[in-house]
Structure 1
Amino acid sequence: MYVGANYHPHDSNPKDWERDIALMVSAGIKVVRLGHLAWDSYEPENGKFNFEWFDHVMDLMHNAGIGVILDVAIRPAPLWLHRKHPTIDITDSNGSRLYPNTRYMVDVGDPSFREYALRFTDKLTFRYANHPALMAFGIDNEPGDGPYSYSESVRLRFAAWLQKKYGTLKDLNRAWASQRWSRRISDFDEIGLPRSGALSGAPERIIDFRRFVSDEINDLLFAVMAQVEQNAPGVLLTTNAWYYKEDGRYFDYAEIAYTGKMGRPGMGFYPGNSLADNDGLYEALLGLARIQFESPTPFWCTEFTTMTAVPGSVRKSAYASLIYGNQLVCGWTWQSMHGGEEQYLQGMLDWDGEPNRKYDEYRQIATEFAEIERFGFPYTPQARIALAFSFDSQLASASFPEKHDQQLQTCFSTVLERNLDQRVVDLSRSTLSDYEILIIPGAALIDEVSAGRIRRFVADGGTAIMTSYSAVVDPSGQVFDTPRPGLLADVFGVRLGSFQETEVLNELATGGTQGHDLDIVFGHLSIRTEAPRFDEVRPQGAAVVASISGLDRDYPVATVNEFGKGRAVYLGIPARRALFDAILDVEILKKDIPQGPEVPPGVLARRIDETHVLYVNLEGVNKSVTTDAPSWSILHNRGYADGFVLAPFDVDFIELNKTSDLAPEKP
């Protein structure tokens, strides 16, 4: 287990390097991430490389026993490259070429950019491949982030991409429904670019444009990884990915994740500055799972929050990340910057180089990690529950009141709070063979491969739980002209008719509901929840297990269909905790999935191995935890008889069946 810091020697005074390294050693920092966003510090002019200054930095780190994650900083491109090859500049949707005033203002698909990015990769990785300080190469920083370019070069590449994908204009026009509103294409030269990345035009065209952009990003990243592998075979690769939402330049990272080439999947872990609010922590944990997918290797949080985080919140988040296999907590950033866009984003050292409370908190984490790392860490999740997520569905769900990742977050949080392992999976790439329950939260776009895997999973004895807005459109982005859920209606035993708008239908309510309120009866439970719309679910073999009541009539909202050896559950509303929790509990019980450690609400816990359990109190009150055997706290160095009290926002790591002469603590 590693605690580290993002360090910027190119942005600091060389006379401070030895002071900084001494402070790192004192804090127990074992890793630094170097080189990100620093291309022109190594190549200040075209073809004129200067590595001597950085050789000294690498040597200093090695002499101090600190490992280096060396970023291959292919973005931002140096200004000299923009001047030499202006085609790499970003062109906005109005046709204006933009000056690169900020980072990531580069067209990564431009052939000239790719040529120079790979040349830089070659020079950097060849020089440091065998340096004893090198721990891993980092592939780009926040890949995919940055604005879209709408240049003529991009348009021509997009047209070529479409011609390769569809082959003929007939197939392209069919996929794009171009008969609508007189948009038929008679020549590939007529291809245009969507005005924006949002659904402001025909959804089929925008989905394909986003796929094209994603392919160009992945093509570049694969090329960079291949160049690194050529120069440094066997060296670990990582990255600082980001769990982008629709307003960012999200791309299909699953394509990389499922190759296994990224030996240490990595991302920036930013749960926010609050200690008491856990929403940001839940989002960051899901982000980790979305980058990790089904990788069996340890995860690296190559950036981790500092800023104005409330005392104790970094520690709480660091321990929470361990339950998803994290091995590295690498603080962003070491010292508060003196200039540039992030000059007020505070680090572990203040602007004058003096350590602050975040430095102390990272030192505490490093000390504690050193105590516990030999007891089963990094943890490898043993998930029996999978959550489906796909790039295509995220794009297609932009048309709905609730996007794919929002439903995914709801379902993820449900499983998280049950202290059960889970994996995010890509249905088109996963075999699903390791799981017993598959959750499909608003996966709007379903192709034949994904549908076939769901079908086999259920037929072979698995339980699939699908929520509303799923299997609505085919791979082109057009609504299925067959019974929905598309390609899976027989598996779930239902036919979905029109959706109903809750607010207007509540004009006929007899039970006091209004707005988006819905009353649901599930067995003996009466549930009040809300949703802007719900599906008109028509059972065709499935049993109705829950219904919406109090409207003009009762509407089936949850059904179960026995298919093959398994069960297919359909929910006619988006994922809502009030209903989803109850449904999931039933299915977990039927599958006899072992419960996580028994803890009060608000405590994350994980049995790391047979005798060691990690506990994280997410709330600001004491929590009484019971154990079925005497135990010893490795973090607090005391014994417990049959339980203990977990202080507000505190952490404990216990060894079961171990006693001591110290007085035991009881809850």
Structure 2
Amino acid sequence: MTNPWPLGVDGIAYGGDYNPEQWPLATRVEDVELMQQAGVTLVSVGIFSWAQLEPRPGEYDFGWLDDILDRLAAAGIKVALATATASPPPWLTRKHPELLPELADGTVLHPGGRQAYRVAAPLWREYAVAMTRRMAERYRAHPALALWHVDNELGCHVPHDFSDDAAAAFRRWLESRYGTVEALNAAWGTAFWSQRYDSFDEVLPPRSAPTYPNPTQQLDFARYSSDELLVHYRALRDVLREVTPHVPTTTNLMLSTGTKWMDYFSWAGDLDLIANDHYTRAHDPLAHVELALSADLTRGVAGGDPWVLMEHSTSAVNWQPRNRTKRPGEMLRHSLAHVAHGADAVMYFQWRQSAAGAEKYHSAMLPHAGTDTDVWRSTVELGAALKAIGEVKGSRVRSDVAIVWDYPSWWGVELDSHPSTDVTYPDRVLAHYRALWERHVSVDVVAPSADLSRYRLVVVPTLYVTSDADAANIAAAAAAGATVLVTYFSGIVDEHDHVRLGGYPGAFRDLLGVRTEEFWALQEGETLTLDDGSVADVWSERIHPADGTEVVRTFVDGDLAGGPAVTRRAVGEGSAWYLATRLDDAALGALTEALLVEAGVEPVLSGVPAGVEVARRQADDGRSWLFVLNHTDAPVDLPPGEVLTGRTSGGQVHAGGYAVLREQV
């Protein structure tokens, strides 16, 4: 069943954050006219407006917001209306400085930026709920209202608060999770370093300590922090559902390889629809590959349903060390790539580029230089393109390959006092994803608990924290016929960060048919060679394969020369592969090709040049649409189909161009 969608929004929604409180009335009038020219259909309003709406405690000024919502409604533009709680007004934290969050070392985070609040503080919750109710009751019947936008990027700047309010909430969370302090002691292994607790009242967040804090304490605090942010979302959402049950509710997640501390798979069931903010990295020449991974991860969190791209950028951002302007065509390709991977809405931060404040150099749909600009012309072109492909709305992406993504494993694998600081998480997921992207294969990014039965190939990178249930789920996929690849430092610990004894890789030992006696972490710059000439670094292991386990590749140098580096074991109708080192890109590509051949996975489209992205969306009635995104500097031939929109001519997609085609049924 498809999730709800913003009310009254047809086709692919288009727009962005709109902050009318920054501008005089004449500019607001112009804004609405220009939005109509650009084809804007949905804007987010009121995100950072609390100080304007309630300039003094209990004194409200809604006139300006009433006016702009009326103007937008008259223009046929729908609104994702925010709860206005994303940042408290200065008077609130001046009146209640005890609401300011704290770092692990006790540093207080003062007002002057945004998100300067303790998410677990009961008084903060009281204020935020009251503001949300006031917004809901005032605008419940407004014709512009299409979607509720709860708060904004929850946890973006303060994913962890270490204050006394957080300590009290953490204790409550622990008592709910473990029931007794004895169970807590067992889970945390507190017999080590005399850390035994006699009551929950003795427990603190993992504040700055003389040396490494308890690792399970750190892992549980990460879980608690993600859950507490979700609790805050629920509190505001519940008010909105009470007052406006007909209006869907969401918040903008930050699904990317750079956002670590919220377990969004655990949030998904509480959002009426999934919305995401994504920004590319200026320094990365392959930023479009990370974009595709993040979009597929967003679709995974959405359970395959269409989702909202709530924010991205038309050009440069303001918060990276060196903020690169997007090249010609890049804005359009990036936007359409999100649609190709499942988005049914394309929105930006923001509509009009700010003249003041910390984000004044962040690009917008309408830049400082006005309408005689490439950015504005691209804004208008994209609006027309999205209108032309409106029929794509509601269709889905279908994949034969899954990559497993797990937030607790990310948190756990990057804890301190591990075998190597070079063993990290998102970059390895991205490396495997890139190998598949380069081979034009469609990929779903899913949780380890997801239904894996429909996939031919399942890639499991560095699943460090592995429950019995998740291990069994992955093993069942292999038994049912999938080719499963598990990589090093997977299955090592249970959900309490306790090592699974008897030999690594713990939870996957039987599935893979290997037993690792000892890790062999490599030093910085150290490399190993495999028997096919592949180069590896970071990691190796002393492995003992079981009977029936095939050694596919061995190390030919180093301390483990002659030992297994890659193994394969037949499992039921499928197979389980183990990669016990970090391969370079060429070697990982070769391994990926072998896996795809064994699994019988075909590319989305054959014969596509390197650097050209292709993706397909399909409807239940058999219709399908092909997206061709040319990230190269040379034109490429158009595949068969009816071109709905694109930068094309002479049967080719322009260099740096795009095309969306309706395929023949």
Q: Secondary structure at the match of 1:140?
A: coil
Q: How much has 1:339 moved relative to structure 2?
A: 1.8
TM-aligned CA distance change 1:289 to 1:635, over 3 Å: closer
Q: How much has 1:632 moved relative to structure 2?
A: 4.3
CA deviation string 1:114-151 (max 9, x = no partner): 12212212221232233221221112211112233322
| Farther off after superposition, 103-112 or 569-578 | 569-578
- Does 2:433 match 1:412? yes
Equivalent-residue separation in structure 1 for 2:394 and 2:373 (angstroms)? 28
Partner of 1:563: 571
Equivalent-residue separation in structure 2 for 1:612 and 1:230 (angstroms)? 39
- Does 2:534 match 1:528? yes
Partner of 1:357: 374
Equivalent-residue separation in structure 2 for 1:474 and 1:460 (angstroms)? 25
TM-aligned CA distance change 1:198 to 1:110, over 3 Å: farther
Partner of 2:385: 368
Partner of 1:265: 274
Q: How much has 1:487 moved relative to structure 2?
A: 2.3
CA deviation string 1:8-63 (max 9, x = no partner): 11111122111111111112222211111222222233333332321111110011
Equivalent-residue separation in structure 2 for 1:102 and 1:499 (angstroms)? 45
Partner of 2:529: 519
- Does 2:82 match 1:71? yes
Partner of 2:494: 474
Equivalent-residue separation in structure 2 for 1:127 and 1:386 (angstroms)? 45
Written as runs of structure 1 = structure 2, the 5 A alignment for 1:195-206 is: 195=207, 200-206=212-218
Q: Secondary structure at the match of 1:518?
A: strand
TM-aligned CA distance change 1:602 to 1:537, over 3 Å: same
Amino acid at match of 2:310: T
Equivalent-residue separation in structure 1 for 2:67 and 2:303 (angstroms)? 35
TM-aligned CA distance change 1:110 to 1:378, over 3 Å: same
Partner of 1:584: 592
Partner of 1:172: 184
Equivalent-residue separation in structure 1 for 2:192 and 2:447 (angstroms)? 32
Verify the 8 A CA contact 1:615 1:652 in the aligned structure 2. Answer: yes
TM-aligned CA distance change 1:433 to 1:121, over 3 Å: farther
Match for residue 443 of structure 2 among 413, 419, 422: 422
TM-aligned CA distance change 1:427 to 1:45, over 3 Å: same
Verify the 8 A CA contact 1:348 1:356 in the aligned structure 2. Answer: no
Amino acid at match of 2:73: H
TM-aligned CA distance change 1:448 to 1:622, over 3 Å: same
Equivalent-residue separation in structure 2 for 1:637 and 1:85 (angstroms)? 55
Verify the 8 A CA contact 2:458 2:483 in the aligned structure 1. Answer: yes
TM-aligned CA distance change 1:199 to 1:446, over 3 Å: farther
Match for residue 145 of structure 2 among 112, 134, 152: 134
- Does 2:405 match 1:395? no
Equivalent-residue separation in structure 1 for 2:382 and 2:256 (angstroms)? 28
Equivalent-residue separation in structure 2 for 1:606 and 1:97 (angstroms)? 47
Amino acid at match of 2:472: G
CA deviation string 1:241-280 (max 9, x = no partner): 113667x6621111122x1x43331122212458xx5422
Equivalent-residue separation in structure 2 for 1:98 and 1:492 (angstroms)? 48
CA deviation string 1:346-391 (max 9, x = no partner): 32334476553211111111112222222x3454111221111112
Partner of 2:349: 332
CA deviation string 1:270-301 (max 9, x = no partner): 12458xx5422222332233333252321211
Verify the 8 A CA contact 2:516 2:543 in the aligned structure 1. Answer: yes
Amino acid at match of 1:474: D
Match for residue 165 of structure 2 among 144, 150, 153: 153
Amino acid at match of 1:547: T
Written as runs of structure 1 = structure 2, the 5 A alignment for 1:314-325 is: 314-325=331-342
Match for residue 219 of structure 1 among 213, 224, 231: 231
- Does 2:520 match 1:500? yes
Equivalent-residue separation in structure 1 for 2:47 and 2:407 (angstroms)? 26
CA deviation string 1:213-255 (max 9, x = no partner): 1111111112222222222223233322113667x66211111
Q: How much has 1:190 moved relative to structure 2?
A: 2.4
Amino acid at match of 2:215: P
Partner of 1:341: 358
Verify the 8 A CA contact 2:629 2:658 in the aligned structure 1. Answer: yes
- Does 2:459 match 1:439? yes
TM-score, normalised by the number of residues in structure 2: 0.89
CA deviation string 1:133-177 (max 9, x = no partner): 122111221111223332222222222322332233332222222
Match for residue 238 of structure 1 among 238, 250, 253: 250
Q: How much has 1:196 moved relative to structure 2?
A: 5.6
Amino acid at match of 1:617: N
TM-aligned CA distance change 1:86 to 1:502, over 3 Å: closer
Equivalent-residue separation in structure 2 for 1:295 and 1:531 (angstroms)? 35
Q: How much has 1:485 moved relative to structure 2?
A: 1.9
Structure 2's unaligned 5+ residue stretches are 1-11, 317-324, 416-420
Equivalent-residue separation in structure 2 for 1:198 and 1:256 (angstroms)? 34
Match for residue 603 of structure 1 among 607, 612, 615: 612
Partner of 2:418: none
Match for residue 262 of structure 2 among 251, 264, 271: 251
- Does 2:511 match 1:491? yes
CA deviation string 1:88-116 (max 9, x = no partner): 21123343444222111211111111122
TM-score, normalised by the number of residues in structure 1: 0.88
The structure showing larger relative contact order (alpha-carbon pairs under 8 Å, at least 6 residues apart) is 2
TM-aligned CA distance change 1:230 to 1:421, over 3 Å: farther
Partner of 1:311: 328
Q: How much has 1:441 moved relative to structure 2?
A: 0.6
Partner of 2:7: none
Equivalent-residue separation in structure 2 for 1:169 and 1:638 (angstroms)? 66
Equivalent-residue separation in structure 2 for 1:636 and 1:211 (angstroms)? 44
TM-aligned CA distance change 1:22 to 1:575, over 3 Å: farther
Q: Secondary structure at the match of 1:123?
A: helix
Verify the 8 A CA contact 2:260 2:407 in the aligned structure 1. Answer: no
Partner of 1:291: 298
Q: Secondary structure at the match of 1:635?
A: strand
Match for residue 48 of structure 2 among 37, 41, 45: 37
Match for residue 93 of structure 2 among 82, 91, 104: 82
Verify the 8 A CA contact 1:616 1:651 in the aligned structure 2. Answer: yes
Equivalent-residue separation in structure 2 for 1:59 and 1:365 (angstroms)? 26
Match for residue 544 of structure 2 among 517, 538, 544: 538
Partner of 1:508: none
**Matched length:** 631
Verify the 8 A CA contact 1:144 1:251 in the aligned structure 2. Answer: yes
TM-aligned CA distance change 1:315 to 1:155, over 3 Å: same
Identity score, percent:
25
Amino acid at match of 2:21: H
Equivalent-residue separation in structure 1 for 2:624 and 2:194 (angstroms)? 68
Amino acid at match of 1:546: R
Amino acid at match of 1:442: T
Amino acid at match of 1:174: A
Q: How much has 1:198 moved relative to structure 2?
A: 14
Match for residue 202 of structure 2 among 181, 190, 193: 190
Verify the 8 A CA contact 2:537 2:583 in the aligned structure 1. Answer: no
Equivalent-residue separation in structure 2 for 1:262 and 1:436 (angstroms)? 30
The RMSD of aligned alpha carbons is 2.6
Q: How much has 1:530 moved relative to structure 2?
A: 2.8
